[in-house]
Structure 1
Amino acid sequence: MSTVTLYGLKNCDTCTKARRWLATQGIDHRFVDLRAEGVERERIRRWLDEVGPETLINRRSRTWRELDESERTVTGDGAAADLLQQYPTLIKRPVLELDTGGVVVGFSGPRYETALAGAD
């Protein structure tokens, strides 16, 4: 099985659950803390192409609520990528990225199983 990368925040409960699930399944993975390490704009663009801004942007986050109205008016994937790179805590997490290019946003054991089965 190939290595997967999990993007999230080290103190996020859902990210911790996802990391624990991957470990219990014996799935080799690398964890990237979005706050500490950030994420490249091109990677965010690929995620947006794959899942769209409605899935990737966490509109329930405190960061989203603290943005001014002009920043919240995200039109186009380029503007969304810029916003998410500037405020990585706006990225709905965790983001599971497969070596094959697939992306799963959020944590669900069954969804991870399906995505990882397709990555073999």
Structure 2
Amino acid sequence: MQLYGLKTCDTCRKALKALQNAEFVDVRADGVPDEVMTHAHQRFGAALVNTRSTTWRGLSDDERAEPPEALLKAHPALMKRPLIVDGDAMYLGWGEEVRKTLLG
């Protein structure tokens, strides 16, 4: 299981603490593999981009109009976090439903 996020993100830290067998991947330092990003975009679509972040608010209208995959490659902190990959399954965020599914 891989957990993609930011090491400074409180939500990512909570998820990592609860998912002790997860391998943490910092999206700023290491990025998200293209294959994973493509699959995540197919699965979650526009929800993959965190439009409530300060990074989003700092973008120009032209930048915001870019395709999500290109936008996330240029600005990894825009990704909604965490993105959890467990085999063929993918989860976005650390909400109650995701916690119930992964922790039982």
TM, length-normalised to structure 1: 0.78
Q: Runs of at least 4 residues of structure 1 off by over 2 A?
A: none
1:65 aligns to 2:57 (yes or no) = yes
Aligned to 1:35: 28
Aligned to 1:80: 68
Of the three residues 19, 22, 42, the one matched with 1:22 is 19
Map Cα deviations across residues 44-101 of structure 1 (whole Å, 9 max, x no partner).
1110111111x21000111111111011124xxxx211111111101000111111x2
Aligned-residue Cα RMSD (Å) equals 1.7
Query: What is the identity, as a one-letter code, of the residue corresponding to 1:20?
Result: K
Q: What residue ranges of structure 2 are gaps of 5+ in the alignment?
A: none
Tell me if structure 2 keeps the 8 A contact 1:44–1:85.
no
1:89 aligns to 2:77 (yes or no) = yes
Structure that is richer in helix per residue: 1
1:107 aligns to 2:94 (yes or no) = yes
Percent identity among equivalent residues? 39
TM, length-normalised to structure 2: 0.89
1:56 aligns to 2:48 (yes or no) = yes
Q: Which has the larger radius of gyration?
A: 1
Map Cα deviations across residues 19-57 of structure 1 (whole Å, 9 max, x no partner).
11112xxxx11000011111123321110111111x210
